[in-house]
Structure 1
Amino acid sequence: MLWILLAIIALIIAATLILFRLEDLTHLDSHDYPVREGTPSEANREVLGRIHELGESSRGLKGKARLMALRKHMDGLSEGIALESEFRYSPEPRGEWVIAPGVNTRRRLLYIHGGAWAAGSPRSHRTVTDRLSHIANAAVFAVDYRLMPEHRYMDGVRDCRRAYSWLLDNGPDGPEKSEFMAIAGDSAGGSHTLGLLAWVRDNGLRQADAAIALSPSTDLTMTAPSNRNNIGTDPLLGPVFGGLAKIPLPVIWWATWAAFRVSPTNPVASPLRGDLHNLPPTLIHASDTEMLLDNARRYAGKARVQGSQVTLHTWPGMVHVWHIFGPLLPEAEDAFGDIQNFLQDVEAAGSRQTSTPGIS
């Protein structure tokens, strides 16, 4: 009987080593990534209070009831905030157009919301999409991709791919080719954003002119140091995912595969684990106190080594995806200003390249 048990254990270990073969990325942790100077503003206290309310909204609930409460609370994040954009529902592909006054609708930005692939919606992120439409001078399409657990992870991935392909030739008023395309997303949506860039490249579609990832998840293997080191300093993700630090990584990998039906080492779920060459100019924002800090650092470091133009800007002491708390939070407005500068620099560089003789 003992030898049967030992054989089963050996088989599980062998399968784990074969199926979850990991590239060693620890060398990327030695890169120096500067953090902006300063301390969190007084408004950050109110933000922390809102995060506490988010936790209280689902306290005592379990399973589906807890998830529904979380979704409802997230959808109310933009309530009471003055937004200037027009919000126009799109049934197919499902999502929401966000159109600031006077923007050029031939310029488009696909926005992919966060929420751990199980929560969030175009409505929950209106404070973000409203600002992006303004600063990008573009019509923003916030895709309402299918969420887990009602749907499979890959269903959401396919929704994002389809939305991007559609936006290349369709605007808010009907068929019309785009003259500028960008992709942006936060957290889980940041993961979809970075994965989408690689898919577009590999499938010969017109690549985005620019991409923006806010506090992105880039690696579901949970091997980055900040996944454990920043549990106590991340008021949003720490209470939810901090307990995973007590679970052996192979157990997490098998559980992830069971839930996502995709290996955590697959670049579709972990963009960091893929080929990062020949990607468009990309801006990443992260906080030095969030659990996903090293997800951003490792992605930026690997992408640069492979020749892609990826810029990482890090804020001190901010909550995960602090951008969603603008205009309450000065640091959120600062971050949107940084995004605007990035987009202007990208377009200026493109204009110089186009006008330079001998460069096409």
Structure 2
Amino acid sequence: MLWILLAVVALIILITLLIFRVKDLSEYDGQEWAIRQVAPNPAHDEVIERIKEMGRASRGLKGKARLIALRNHLDSLGESVDIESQLQHQDSPKGEWVMAPGVDPRRRVLYIHGGAWAAGSPRSHRAITDRFSRLANAAVFAVDYRLMPEHRFMDGIRDCRQAYAWLLNHGPDGETAADFVVVAGDSAGGSHTLSLIAWVRDSGLRQADAAIALSPSTDLTLTAPSNRENIRTDPLLGPVFGGLSKIPLPLLWWGTLAAFRISPTNPVASPLRGELNNLPPTLIHASTTEMLLDNSTRYAAKAKAQGSPVELHTWQNMVHVWHIFTPLLPEANDAFEDISAFLKRVEHS
């Protein structure tokens, strides 16, 4: 009986390796990246408290009720933000325009929100989209893409692609061609952003003038070292996803395939594992202590090796997607100033 069990295990391992073919990307580890030092600030403690409130909002709930509570809490945070921009609902593609006073509607930003592909909305991320509209002097379209588990992962991908193609020739005032286009997103939306610019390259559409990914998830295989090494130092993702470190990676790959209905090695879901040549100027922000740090460093290193103009700027000891805590967090304001400077460099290059 023992030999039969061993044979079954060996067969499962062989099938797993044949199906997923997870390439070792450690060759892109170890590069030096400039780190912005961060001084202690009372605002940091307030941010941690807000993150704990997010956890308390869904405590004791399970399944769909827990997910709905999380979604509602995220949306309430965005709706309570004091913004300068005008909001304009859009039915097809679904989303909302965010427009600071006096912006040029021919300058457009497609913003793709984060939330682990299961939460978040244009409402939850208004603090970010409002700042993007101001710094880019552009109309921001926050796409309300379909979320899991009610919809398939690829449904959200298709929504982002449709929104981008539409944005090229449609603004908040109607059918007009765009003069300047940026694609941006955070976390899960950062992954969608990087996946999208690769799809645009291959589809023959006009490429974005620039792309910006904030703390992006670039690789669903979870093989990057920081996915496990930074669990304790990531107050947002650590408590939610840290337990996955106890599960063998092959089991996680099968679980991802079942939940996402797409292989974790597919570049659509893991843009790090695609071809990264001929991409537009791209800026990536990451924190030194977040779980997704090495997802960013590996992507930047590989993209640069393949000739694409990608910059990675890291901040010390920041929470995952600290940008959403503007204007409370000084480093969020610093990050937006960095984005503004990047876009000016792109336009004058």
Structure 1 residues 223-246: Cα deviation after superposition (integer angstroms, max 9, x where no partner): 000001100000000000000111
Q: Could you tell me which residue of structure 1 aligns to residue 42 of structure 2?
A: 42
| Residue 244 of structure 2 is aligned to residue 241 of structure 1 | no
Question: Which residue is 1:170 aligned to?
Answer: 170
Kindly tell me: are residues 40 and 110 of structure 1, through their superposed partners in 2, closer, same or farther at Cα, counting changes over 3 Å?
farther
Checking the alignment, whether the CA contact within 8 Å between 1:40 and 1:316 is kept in structure 2 is no
Q: State the partner residue of 1:10.
A: 10
- Could you report, residue by residue, the CA deviation over 1:109-162 in whole angstroms, capped at 9, with x for unpaired residues? 000000000000000000000000000010000000000000000000000000
Query: Which residue type is aligned with residue 240 of structure 2?
Result: V
Indicate whether 1:70 and 2:70 are aligned.
yes
Q: Conserved in 1, the CA contact under 8 Å of 2:79 and 2:123?
A: no
Partner of 1:352: none
CA distance in 2, matches of 1:81, 1:120: 15
The CA distance in 2 between the partners of 1:203 and 1:17, in whole Å, is 30
Deviation at 1:3, TM superposition (A): 5.3
1:25 aligns with 2:25: yes
SS in 2 for 1:77: helix
User: Quick check: 1:44–1:329 contact (8 Å CA) kept in 2?
Assistant: yes
Aligned-partner residue type, residue 313 of structure 1: H
Report if aligned partners of 1:39, 1:316 keep a CA contact under 8 Å in 2: no
Listed as ranges, the matches of 1:159-308 within 5 Å are 159-308=159-308
Distance 1:164 1:78 in 2: 23
User: Partner residue of 1:331?
Assistant: 331
Q: Deviations over 1:50-89 (max 9, x none)?
A: 0000000001111000000000000011243320101111
Whole-angstrom distance in 1 between the partners of 2:170 and 2:94: 14
Aligned to 2:109: 109
Q: Tell me, in whole angstroms, the C-alpha distance in 2 between the residues paired with 1:65 and 1:96.
A: 26
Q: CA–CA distance in 2 between the matches of 1:312 and 1:156?
A: 26
1:65-144 aligned at under 5 Å gives the runs 65-144=65-144
For normalisation by structure 1, the TM-score amounts to 0.95
Q: CA deviation at 1:28?
A: 1.1
Q: Is the 8 A contact 1:183 1:210 kept in 2?
A: yes
CA-to-aligned-CA distance 1:152-206 (integer Å, 9 cap, x gap): 0000000000000000000011100001000000000000000000000001110
Separation in 2, partners of 1:346, 1:113: 23
Which ranges of structure 2 fall in alignment gaps of 5 or more residues? none
The answer for the alignment partner of 2:55 in structure 1 is 55
- For 2:19 and 2:325, locate their aligned partners in 1 and report how far apart those are by CA, in whole Å: 40
| Equivalent pairs, count | 349
Residue identity opposite 1:111 in structure 2: Y
- Counterpart of 2:314 in 1: which secondary structure? strand
Q: What is the match of residue 354 of structure 1?
A: none
Amino acid in structure 1 at the alignment position of 2:230: N
CA distances 1:250-303 after superposition (whole Å, capped 9, x unpaired)? 000000000000000000000000000000000000000100000000000000
Q: Which moved more, 1:29-38 or 1:134-143?
A: 29-38
For 1:240 and 1:337, locate their aligned partners in 2 and report how far apart those are by CA, in whole Å.
30
Match of 1:174, SS state, is coil
Aligned-residue RMSD, C-alpha: 1.0
Comparing 30-39 with 220-229, greater Cα deviation is found at 30-39
SS in 1 for 2:35: coil
2:157 corresponds in structure 1 to: 157
**1:94 Cα deviation after fit:** 0.2
* Partner Cα distance (1:152, 1:97) in 2: 25
Provide the rounded CA distance (Å) in 2 between the counterparts of 1:185 and 1:41.
26
Matched, 1:347 2:347: yes
SS in 2 for 1:111: strand
- Residues 33-66 of structure 1 deviation map (CA, whole Å, 9 limit, x = unaligned): 1211233422111000000000000011110000
1:171 aligns to what SS in structure 2?
A: coil
Return the alpha-carbon distance in structure 1 between the equivalents of residues 169 and 177 of structure 2. 4
Amino-acid identity (%): 70
